[in-house]
Structure 1
Amino acid sequence: MKNIFLLILSTMILNLSCKKQVILANGETNSVAVETFDIERIEPKNWWIGFKNSHLQLLVKHPNISEATPSISYKGVSIEKVHKADSPNYLFLDLNIDKNVLPGKFNITFKQENKNDLVHTFELKSREKSGEDFVGFNSSDAIYLITPDRFANGDTLNDINTNLLEKTIDRENDYGRHGGDIKGITNRLDYISDMGFTAIWPCPLLTNDMQESSYHGYAMTDFYQVDPRFGTLDEYIELSKKGQEKGIKLIMDQVANHCGIKHWWMKDLPFKDWINYQKNYEDNIDNWNWEKTKFSNHKRTVNQDTYASEIDKKGMTDGWFVESMPDLNQRNRFMAKYLIQNSIWWIETLNLGGIRQDTYPYPDKNFMANWAGAIMTEYPNFNIVGEEWSTNPLLIAYWQDEHKNKDGYDSNLRSTMDFAMQTNIVQALNEDESWDKGLVKMYEGLANDFAYTKPEDILIFPDNHDMSRVFTQLKGDIANTKMALSTILTLPRTPQIYYGTEILMNDFEKPGDHGLIRTDFPGGWKGDIVNAFTGDGLTGEQKDMQSFLKKVLNYRKDSKAIHEGKTIHFAPFIGTYFLFRVLDNEIVVLILNKNENPITIDLKRYSEIGLDDKTLKNIITDEDFIWGDNIELKEKGVIFLSTKK
């Protein structure tokens, strides 16, 4: 009797150790074995309930997994189809997730002949909020662009990771890693908020396990892993949460066009067409020579050009971006699904306020429309900005959602980047002002807004991580730099400012050099003699620019006229340009003056705005100005006025 009792007891203990009951909201239970992770890799790593799209596709990577038969026993989740890849080490599982399924963990069992079953635990989570509640950045925001490795080092313990290829920290090397990280950004959110920014866009923070120049983040070797030299996933989530507490949205920099050549799948590609020119790569993998094997160009206009040759189209869409970044083939339906789900996974995981998509015109454009469409269907109030490096407004407009394109193409993309207006502003301020030919470029550039479906959704900027600092572009002219920044922050646009622009960071030594453009932000490292976060060690000119930008940004933060008001501008007149933003009782006046000597301007020319005898406040000096018959402009520079007290 005693032995029988012990047998029963041991069986009960064994069952309890192997199983646990998950109590569901309706009182039912789902049993799941103790969490087991036998499979080398399953992506996405988890998912959520409550999406409009009930389908999920899992990438399963494990030696000879194609020989296994997968099964799931979880109420509301079913396997619709199992796809084998060209490589025996992959399976792709199509799951259907019922709209009434409850959150929980369940096991996916992979039955193998003459071998032990493989088991992997997968989790369906509850969503923290509905898709409609994900509000993306818009024209009311001012975005702070950060190169994380060069901004602030918040945790020196993660500077070097011996498991990754690039193992050194060298702040003297412009193309080496310097140690900036996620915690460094989180620690400086007060500074970012106080400056007046309402969103941050860090360059990619995912793993770049490359042998050199891995700091910039655009050669990803794992689309689901935070680079450990930047921190952890928990720290990335913390950055988002603490940012939101301060009214700062997090924009994620993503790359759908390419990966890094050291990406984990490059040693065992699932399909024969997973990347573009794959056979060419695989035939030469042991003696890879870019010059002999590349078939690429950067002729982005083939996306719109009705006369473009097929070879030019293929060279742009299929060609590798650079030698070290294989071009992903989004026409492979499994790759397409992988990229779409990856973006959605990060939106949910980080509670994102937007996505910036790198090299937008380079992937297959029909895929990009589907990608953006899938995201905007789930998150109708979200926002995505695509990088289109073109100074032609027609090309920029082509990519914006609802633009009436001749070929019928609709991108589903709310925002593109305004390289055209950025160029116009710099050229307008740099050129001689005889016959107003300089400022006319700015005036006529803004006049092109008729081409855009929603100009306010276009992203404008003075500079970014891929171009010379605006202070360099404007030849070290502080007055011109202030005029450029003021214009960008007043236009009917969504503005972005690159870190360090506020303290006149420059690349005079080697204009356009990427490593120098992405210089360390002073004060971000222990022992820095100059600290831009506190102002210690900054020159008078740097402090003045920082204060100037802070005043403009903080005014803009609460200015409905700038966010959504009517825009009225007047043709340049004897070296001056007047631009007005008007909404109800708030009128914002931007006056640019390129005259070195004092000049008086007759204000009757601007009477249609309705400012006669009104008192306006100078946003920079806090002085009052009564709008009378004329205004004396004593020196070159910008005057920023508002009727709002």
Structure 2
Amino acid sequence: MKMKYLLTLLMSITILSFSHAKGKVSIDRVEPAFWWAGMVNPELQVLVHGENINDLDPSIAYEGVTLEQVIKVENPNYLFLNLKLSETVEPGKFPIQFKRKGKVVFTYDYELKARAKNSANRKGFSNEDVMYLITPDRFANAIPENDHVEGMYEDTDRSDNGKRHGGDLQGIIDNLDYLKGLGFTAIWICPVLESNQVDYSYHGYAITDYYKVDARYGSNEDYVRLVDEAKKRGIKIIMDQVENHAGLNHWWTKDLPTKDWYHSADKAVKPTTNHNRSSLADPYTTPSEKRAFSDGWFVDRMPDLNQSNPLMSKYLIQNSIWWVEYAGLGGIRQDTFSYPDPEFMSDWSRSIMEEYPNFNIVGEEWTSNPALIARWQVGKVNTNGYKCYMPSMMDFPNQEAFVKSLNVSPDESWQDSFGAAHGMLANDFLYVDPYNLVTFMDNHDMARIYDQVNQNYDLYQMAMVYLYTLRGIPQVYYGTEITLSYPENPGDHGGLRIDMPGGWEGDKVNAFTGEGLNEQQKNAQNLIKKLNQYRTKTTALQTGKLVHYYPKNETYVMFRFDEKTKVMTIFNKNADKTELKLDRFNETLKGAKSATDILTGKKYDLSSGVISIEGTSALMLELK
């Protein structure tokens, strides 16, 4: 098996070389390796890398393909070819001839593939979906043989939270039926592209090859197979991408195309970003503050990419589109969305959505300020004139506010415990489309929700019911469905991404089969399953109107409804059973006489004007 992966690695690089009086000339990389006929954008930039390659002059003779520009940069090992593809260009292979003084030195066969049927109309994830988040190294190890790959720095060590643990793409494929059984319809997978860093590479956010799946996860073909197998089960795959930074061991680093390929590449000490997310919108800040945010390195092992370089910008945009087309993606999640050059992010999001108008992209802007998130969404009119084209963003403010409401004691605030949650949700007027935000209670960068509420299962259940009542697209982190916990050190990101029980041979607890789960874990799993099943069949929880009432006496009431269904959710922070008078909600109840608890099936008679709710609990009721 090890030999197989070594051969795959070697075969993935085709090297053409020729020696002449001026020295050796070679090609070792062409990116993208192929493209497609019939794309909306007729322009294609091809990066060619090889020793002294710009000593040669390329030419193309293929009907429908025009070589409009050859860009020779300061590094002699690069050529950038700008092609224009006609609307009528046919799929097929064509030679790119590399000449010296008119004589062909060697030929590279480039391919334009036929697009998949209805590719341009592919539908991305939407508020009809329920999303599951996976850190692939920590989910399931189906092929232990790929834990070690020749040429890759890190091997596995499950005893160390900062090391690789061996999860792979086959492990996800093997457990797709588990996820389908729980009712999930989309999977966001943390980055799977090559991250050949010396250490701490398991998380995948330090990419060293933008066109290649990390061999310890599998191959590009395995990734496509994962997408195909998920589609058979009605599940979309969302790719986690990173435009802001690369891994320090990216093959560019030792042979940069231009001096400005990375920000501050020539400086001995690299400036770190100031993490001042508000600087881009701040009307009183200075240009230097904005540069310090966008141009600083995220960490010293992740070079900051200079997207204001047009060659870099085109490279990254094309790479994102290439993966959508090649793998048949159902969405993109963009890491550290606000950190790259903002004009580039505008071009990036616009380019993808022009190519795929029904697609969806969600960006990470980790802030509790909804105004900073709202400014990125397509259609938002910003006072400084900035336009972006993001359909979706991650809803960090509501996550933070509801967890705060769950944890605050009544005597710690002048307002009701649920005041924070109610007040934050009232800020939805800032968004162009709050229903297209991705909502969540935890993710791979924060303590698990069960730990955030101090391992109080009643509060955990309230958090999950809120998540499924809230507008938007709910996302559940792997293991949250069994109250997976790591309370030892909330600052240890490796611990926040602990192994999924049952993903490794010999695990005594198996979330996938239920073996070894305790009663609480089984209850949590059943809770998520019921919520998923109800939400996916209930349009009121997907696109229905949301109405909420100001919290009173430690209770918070929300409604979701459309022409088909009306759902009432009641949250009670009181320790004791509470009698909730319904007359306050008559304008929304509109004569409803009965209700059914969607989690237990219990029936309620509303004609008395009062409903009883147990202490520290939530009720999700379908009204009749």
TM-score by length of 1: 0.91
Task: Please state how far the C-alpha of 1:96 moved relative to its aligned partner.
Answer: 1.1
Q: Distance in 1 between matches of 2:370 and 2:594?
A: 37
2:270–2:300 contact (8 Å) kept in structure 1: no
Partner of 1:25: none
Confirm whether residue 101 of structure 1 aligns to residue 89 of structure 2: yes
What is the root-mean-square deviation of aligned Cα atoms in Å?
A: 1.5
Task: Please state how far the C-alpha of 1:364 moved relative to its aligned partner.
Answer: 0.4
2:62–2:94 contact (8 Å) kept in structure 1: yes
- Percent identity over the alignment is 46
Partner of 1:358: 335
Task: Please state how far the C-alpha of 1:51 moved relative to its aligned partner.
Answer: 1.1
Task: Please state how far the C-alpha of 1:70 moved relative to its aligned partner.
Answer: 0.6
Aligned length: 599
Confirm whether residue 50 of structure 1 aligns to residue 38 of structure 2: yes
Task: Please state how far the C-alpha of 1:196 moved relative to its aligned partner.
Answer: 1.3
Larger radius of gyration: 1
Could you tell me which amino acid in structure 2 is paired with residue 67 of structure 1? D
Could you tell me which amino acid in structure 1 is paired with residue 578 of structure 2? I
Q: Distance in 2 between matches of 1:428 and 1:339?
A: 40
* Compared CA separation, residues 114 and 587, structure 1 to 2 (3 A): closer
Q: Deviations over 1:103-152 (max 9, x none)?
A: 11111111135987122111101110335421111111111000000000
Q: Distance in 2 between matches of 1:131 and 1:449?
A: 33
Q: Distance in 1 between matches of 2:368 and 2:345?
A: 21
Q: Distance in 2 between matches of 1:142 and 1:391?
A: 23
2:207 aligns with one of 220, 233, 240: 220
Q: Deviations over 1:57-114 (max 9, x none)?
A: 1000011010101112222112111000110000000111111111111111111359
Could you tell me which amino acid in structure 2 is paired with residue 219 of structure 1? A
* Compared CA separation, residues 598 and 610, structure 1 to 2 (3 A): closer
2:272–2:300 contact (8 Å) kept in structure 1: no
* Compared CA separation, residues 36 and 365, structure 1 to 2 (3 A): closer
Q: Distance in 2 between matches of 1:221 and 1:454?
A: 35
- The residue matched to 2:337 in structure 1 has which SS? coil
Confirm whether residue 271 of structure 1 aligns to residue 251 of structure 2: no
1:131–1:380 contact (8 Å) kept in structure 2: no
- The residue matched to 2:418 in structure 1 has which SS? helix
- The residue matched to 2:516 in structure 1 has which SS? coil
Confirm whether residue 110 of structure 1 aligns to residue 98 of structure 2: yes
2:272–2:299 contact (8 Å) kept in structure 1: no
Q: Which moved more, 1:604-613 or 1:577-586?
A: 604-613
- The residue matched to 1:577 in structure 2 has which SS? strand
* Compared CA separation, residues 163 and 37, structure 1 to 2 (3 A): closer
Task: Please state how far the C-alpha of 1:571 moved relative to its aligned partner.
Answer: 1.1
1:469–1:501 contact (8 Å) kept in structure 2: yes
- The residue matched to 1:247 in structure 2 has which SS? coil
2:416–2:552 contact (8 Å) kept in structure 1: no
1:135–1:382 contact (8 Å) kept in structure 2: yes
1:493 aligns with one of 446, 458, 472: 472
Q: Which moved more, 1:622-631 or 1:235-244?
A: 622-631
Partner of 1:158: 146
2:592–2:606 contact (8 Å) kept in structure 1: yes
Partner of 1:400: 377
Could you tell me which amino acid in structure 1 is paired with residue 611 of structure 2? I
TM-score by length of 2: 0.94
2:333–2:362 contact (8 Å) kept in structure 1: yes
Q: Deviations over 1:305-335 (max 9, x none)?
A: 1111222111111100100000000000000
Q: Distance in 1 between matches of 2:419 and 2:592?
A: 29
Q: Distance in 1 between matches of 2:272 and 2:156?
A: 35
Partner of 1:178: 165
- The residue matched to 1:42 in structure 2 has which SS? strand
Q: Which runs of 5+ in 1 are unaligned?
A: 1-34, 285-291
1:585 aligns with one of 564, 569, 577: 564
Confirm whether residue 141 of structure 1 aligns to residue 129 of structure 2: yes
1:433–1:439 contact (8 Å) kept in structure 2: no
Confirm whether residue 551 of structure 1 aligns to residue 538 of structure 2: no
Q: Which moved more, 1:361-370 or 1:107-116?
A: 107-116
Q: Distance in 1 between matches of 2:75 and 2:307?
A: 18
Q: Distance in 2 between matches of 1:169 and 1:80?
A: 47
Task: Please state how far the C-alpha of 1:489 moved relative to its aligned partner.
Answer: 1.3
- The residue matched to 2:124 in structure 1 has which SS? coil
Q: Distance in 1 between matches of 2:387 and 2:358?
A: 18
Task: Please state how far the C-alpha of 1:568 moved relative to its aligned partner.
Answer: 0.7
Q: Distance in 2 between matches of 1:89 and 1:621?
A: 66
Q: Distance in 2 between matches of 1:50 and 1:71?
A: 22
Could you tell me which amino acid in structure 1 is paired with residue 615 of structure 2? E
Q: Distance in 1 between matches of 2:305 and 2:498?
A: 31
Q: Distance in 2 between matches of 1:145 and 1:295?
A: 29
1:153–1:524 contact (8 Å) kept in structure 2: yes
Confirm whether residue 601 of structure 1 aligns to residue 580 of structure 2: yes
- The residue matched to 2:523 in structure 1 has which SS? helix
Task: Please state how far the C-alpha of 1:399 moved relative to its aligned partner.
Answer: 1.1
Partner of 2:613: 633
